[in-house]
Amino acid sequence: MTMNTAFPAVEFDAEIIGKLSQSGPRYTSYPTADRFQQDFGYGQFLEAVAGLRMRRSQRPLSLYVHIPFCDTICYYCGCNKIVTKDHSKAATYLGYLKQEIDMQGRLFAGMGQIEQLHFGGGTPTYLSDRQMGDLMTHLHENFSFVPDAQGEYSIEIDPRTVSVDRVHSLRAQGFNRISLGVQDFDPEVQKAVNRIQPEAETRAVMDAARAAGFRSISIDLIYGLPKQTMASMEQTLDKVIDADPDRIALYNYAHLPHLFKPQRRIADADLPTAAVKLDLLALCIRRLCAAGYVYIGMDHFAKPGDELAVAQRQGRLQRNFQGYSTRAEADLISCGVSAISAVGATYSQNEKTLEAYYEKLDDGKLPVTRGIKLDTDDLLRRIVIQKLMCNFELSISSIEQAYPIRFPLYFAAELEKLKAFEDDGLVQIDPQWISVTPKGRLLIRNICMVFDRYLSMPRVDGPQPLRYSKTI
């Protein structure tokens, strides 16, 4: 068996999905962020960077910048954000953010070029045009970037916060990919989540992005929002398909009001039932695949010629904290409050509040508050989960060549658990390969959970409230 060269198909089986749907990680990392430890700090991060330097690493680098501010609150949101109309707070934040960028730039000097940049939030375009230009200049002073044609430089924008001129300015500042939050085009749904965003406004931004020369336009949608119906979703999908984005991220709304206060403003009675939510998902998959989009995995769709689809066909796809990504071999440097870096065999997360973030930087330290150093078992399980999440198949012999194990012995318990998935027609297992079937692709999180050692281990800080979204 060889790497799939055809675009992967996906099959929707409501009965199996209903049976297996449960809460579980999204595996943007393994171990997942809820397993990071407080005893991992600035010193451990420095050790990880020193380890790269000692190996004279020239691996490409990926850079994430977190801008936490928003003008208004969207009730569905579970991001780490600060809602304020006082834009002076952004000026203070930028001063500290530049200080962190200076420190990271010195640490990674001469160690590799930035091939991937992503601005997330919050709302990165909360920053003014001048502030954004100044920040991009600062990044280029501290890091070496590959040329525009080779790099993937993306920014998340709220179409309500940018003009046509601003879109052209973002392109001139160095961004070549743009991601737009849409969620739903239906006025009643928008009202229910406090995000009024006329279709014409979104289309104007997309048209401007094409005119400005952005290489890829991505749209975020959410299914399971209050007031959503099959009819309203049909109309939203008509509009999305007509708008013709290069990528579409289709997220499952996770209603966790005990964790995210804004969600308490959403009435339970307005939410679609579990059965309707499944029907909404089936509708989205059917319509997007019929429109020519490739199902990448989890909640991502892309046009066949998009870099994401190409990377998957070539076996170069990976998952990181921004979801699916094309730069499998890059170390990730993350700057800003709550941002998570992945350097060498470590993950490290910055302080989650502005006060603590500023305090660490005032002390001349990187604002790392927790993290984890991966042991050999973590690294092994991470690669197994990554391969399954990204390629929907795993070469057993490639794992045995990379690690001193006999796969059937090391993962005997896991292979036994997978038999239930095999019986349901979700995976195929032979001595050389584990392959996820088209029916199993929507349940890839469930399949990967079999290999997650931490799910059966008690947490050191005791039981926690439910933090995972439903797998479907």
Tell me the binding residues for [4Fe-4S] cluster. 70, 74, 77
Q: Identify the DSSP state of 37.
A: B
Q: Tell me which residue of 65, 253, 71, 213 sits closest to 142, measured CA to CA.
A: 65
Q: Any residues with CB less than 8 A from the CB of 196 and at least 6 apart, and which?
A: 160, 187, 190
> Which helix (H) or strand (E) is 401 found in, with range?
helix 396-402
> Which helix (H) or strand (E) is 135 found in, with range?
helix 129-142
Could you tell me if 381 and 413 are in contact, meaning their C-beta atoms sit under 8 angstroms apart? no
Report the distance separating Cα 100 and Cα 334, nearest Å. Answer: 10
The amino acid present at 340, given as its one-letter code, is I
Indicate the pairing of strand 247-252 with strand 294-297.
Answer: unpaired
Report the distance separating Cα 106 and Cα 99, nearest Å. Answer: 11
Positive/negative CA dihedral, 36, 38, 39, 41: positive
Using DSSP, state whether 407 is helix, strand or coil.
helix
Report the distance separating Cα 368 and Cα 418, nearest Å. Answer: 37
Q: At what angle do helices 354-362 and 88-107 cross, to 10 degrees?
A: 50
* Binding-site annotation, residues: 64, 70, 74, 76-78, 121-123, 156, 183, 195, 220, 254, 340
Q: Tell me which residue of 111, 107, 103 sits closest to 55, measured CA to CA.
A: 111
Report the distance separating Cα 410 and Cα 421, nearest Å. Answer: 19
* Binding-site annotation, residues for S-adenosyl-L-methionine: 64, 76-78, 121-123, 156, 183, 195, 220, 254, 340
> Which helix (H) or strand (E) is 277 found in, with range?
helix 274-290
Report the distance separating Cα 134 and Cα 94, nearest Å. Answer: 10
How many residues are present in the chain?
Answer: 472
Within 353-461, strands assigned E span: 368-373, 393-395, 427-429, 433-436
* Dihedral-angle region of residue 174 (phi above 0 means left; psi in -120 to 50 means alpha; beta otherwise): left
Within 7-113, strands assigned E span: 61-67, 69-70, 82-83
